[in-house]
A = this chain, B = another copy of it.
Amino acid sequence: MSEHKGPSRRMLLGAMAAGGAAMTTGMARAAGDPAITELQPWMRSLGDGVDAHPYGMPSPFEAHVKRRNVEWLTADPVSSVNFTPIHELDGIITPNGLCFERHHSGIARVDPSLHRLMINGLVDREIVFTMDDLKRFPRYNRIHFLECAANSGMEWRGAQLNGCQFTHGMIHNVMYTGVMLRDVLAAAGVKPTGTWLLAEGADAAAMTRSIPMEKALDDCMIAFKMNGEALRPEQGYPVRLVVPGWEGNMWVKWLRRIEIGDQPWQHREETSKYTDLLPDGRARRFTYEMDAKSVITNPSPQAPLSHGKGPTVLTGIAWSGRGTIPRVDVTLDGGRNWHQARMDGPSLEKSMHRFYFDFDWDGRPLLLQSRAHDSTGYVQPTKDALRAIRGPDSIYHNNGIQTWHVDERGEAENVEVG
């Protein structure tokens, strides 16, 4: 790899001083590199035609880029989770095939022609919608992140999983197309006493969550498309709830029923689960909003600094359930010095943001952290700051600062520095 450094370094620094040596390196590689002196097979023969892949797939050379589950985490894969390979992605869009999955009774295989959405409870008129009915409401398109409340949960007590796919991969960010929940509720006519709603899924778990009417009438959507095409089965095909900025468990998939009531239903998913035990023995429940959070995806334990010293692109993602991310700070030395990262790509409400920090690595060990600021002024806290308030027994809503240690070889590992 050493012969690659010269050109790269000069490229980035644009330093004429290094020009001579770099030119030599470049020409040396050109002369000795069979990849240049010989025509590759794909230039000597025809490839597949336009009739070969009616629905395309990634290159075989990308077969390692996939969702991964952790076998020991759950008793059974049908009530489990897998993780988005965020260390292999860039930009802010998560491709549909790589969006993490979380389901409680497996992936419901729903026939859209037989699927119905019922609105009942405290309404002027109960209504049952077909998918065709729903597609006759005005449509909207919004890019939002979906993060599981348990994302980074296994890190609550300290560094455990060696890879951001596993520590922070219960998140995805796609463009949803659907209708506004408020428009659908208006059709049924919510009674003045209707202050809460229950969303129920058509999977074998009949996933149910209580949602305050105020949020439902604000920005919630009933979505049937993601990134332009139909929702994927594992994401709720043919229709799911979108609850922007709030914990993923509320985004009920395979949405079949919305009941209007006057108080929360106190169901399993909002009592025994998605609830944290506080030091004084009380339970922290109905914790909806996902606070500002960020993580460095490259370098990270699954994505070491393989190119050695010189020009290095550090990148990561940041998000907030309360707005946008105008700023992310990055440190290379465990917090002694902070540098403002370069944000790039669309900055949208309750959507993933991409940040970069371009630096010249001197080959010495790094202690990497990122710290997100959201549009409300909130700053991502340390894990210790969270523990000081919530104690040692929490699982959910860990938005603490993540640390990676990078050694001289560029290998990274998950470490705990508070």
Residues of A within 8 A of B (CB-CB), count: 136
**Contacting residues, chain B, for A135 (C-beta < 8 A):** 313
CB proximity of A326 to chain B, nearest CB, Å: 17
**Contacting residues, chain B, for A45 (C-beta < 8 A):** 204
Task: Produce 1/0 per residue, A1-42, CB < 8 A to B.
Answer: 100100110111010000100110011011001011000111
Asked whether A78 lies within 8 Å of B49 as measured between CB atoms, the reply is: yes
Asked whether A111 lies within 8 Å of B61 as measured between CB atoms, the reply is: yes
Question: Provided the pairs A49-B80, A50-B77 are in contact, do residues A128 and B30 lie with their beta carbons within 8 angstroms?
Answer: yes
**Contacting residues, chain B, for A82 (C-beta < 8 A):** 50-51, 54
- Chain B residue nearest in CB terms to A310: B136
Q: Which of A268-321 contact B (CB under 8 A)?
A: 306-307, 310-313, 315
- Chain B residue nearest in CB terms to A61: B112
Q: Which one, A83-91, A152-160, A404-412, is touching chain B?
A: A83-91
A111 to B140, CA, bound (A): 40
- Chain B residue nearest in CB terms to A23: B125
A142 to B110, CA, bound (A): 35
**Contacting residues, chain B, for A132 (C-beta < 8 A):** 1, 4, 8, 306-307
Partner of A313 from B61, B80, B89, B138 at Cβ < 8 Å: B138
Asked whether A54 lies within 8 Å of B66 as measured between CB atoms, the reply is: yes
Asked whether B186 lies within 8 Å of A229 as measured between CB atoms, the reply is: no
CB proximity of A175 to chain B, nearest CB, Å: 5
Q: Which one, A113-121, A209-217, A364-372, is touching chain B?
A: A113-121
Number of copies: 2
Asked whether A187 lies within 8 Å of B10 as measured between CB atoms, the reply is: yes
**Contacting residues, chain B, for A101 (C-beta < 8 A):** 50, 53, 56
Asked whether B187 lies within 8 Å of A7 as measured between CB atoms, the reply is: yes
**Contacting residues, chain B, for A415 (C-beta < 8 A):** none
Q: Which of A120-174 contact B (CB under 8 A)?
A: 124-130, 132-133, 135-143, 174
- A55 CB within 8 Å of chain B: yes
- Chain B residue nearest in CB terms to A358: B138
- A225 CB within 8 Å of chain B: yes
Asked whether B47 lies within 8 Å of A95 as measured between CB atoms, the reply is: no
Q: Which of A330-371 contact B (CB under 8 A)?
A: 342, 344-346, 348, 354, 356, 358
- A105 CB within 8 Å of chain B: yes
Asked whether A49 lies within 8 Å of B106 as measured between CB atoms, the reply is: yes
| A36, A69, A177, A311: most-surrounded residue (chain B CB, <10 A) | A177
| A67, A102, A129, A229: most-surrounded residue (chain B CB, <10 A) | A229
Asked whether A130 lies within 8 Å of B55 as measured between CB atoms, the reply is: no
- A184 CB within 8 Å of chain B: yes
**Contacting residues, chain B, for A139 (C-beta < 8 A):** 90, 313, 315, 344, 356
**Contacting residues, chain B, for A342 (C-beta < 8 A):** 138
CB proximity of A28 to chain B, nearest CB, Å: 10
Asked whether A130 lies within 8 Å of B4 as measured between CB atoms, the reply is: yes
- Chain B residue nearest in CB terms to A233: B59
Task: Produce 1/0 per residue, A186-204, CB < 8 A to B.
Answer: 1101000000000000111
Asked whether B225 lies within 8 Å of A90 as measured between CB atoms, the reply is: yes
**Contacting residues, chain B, for A186 (C-beta < 8 A):** 11, 14
21 contacts between A and B (CB under 8 A): A7-B187, A23-B124, A26-B128, A40-B111, A43-B108, A43-B202, A47-B105, A47-B203, A49-B76, A50-B101, A55-B65, A58-B229, A90-B139, A90-B228, A91-B225, A93-B175, A94-B228, A136-B313, A137-B313, A139-B356, A346-B348
Known A42-B202, A60-B109; further 10 A-B contacts with Cβ < 8 A:
A11-B133, A11-B186, A23-B125, A23-B127, A43-B203, A51-B77, A58-B232, A135-B313, A141-B346, A346-B346
Which 5 residue pairs across A and B have the least CB separation, nearest first?
A: A49-B77, A47-B106, A11-B187, A54-B66, A141-B345
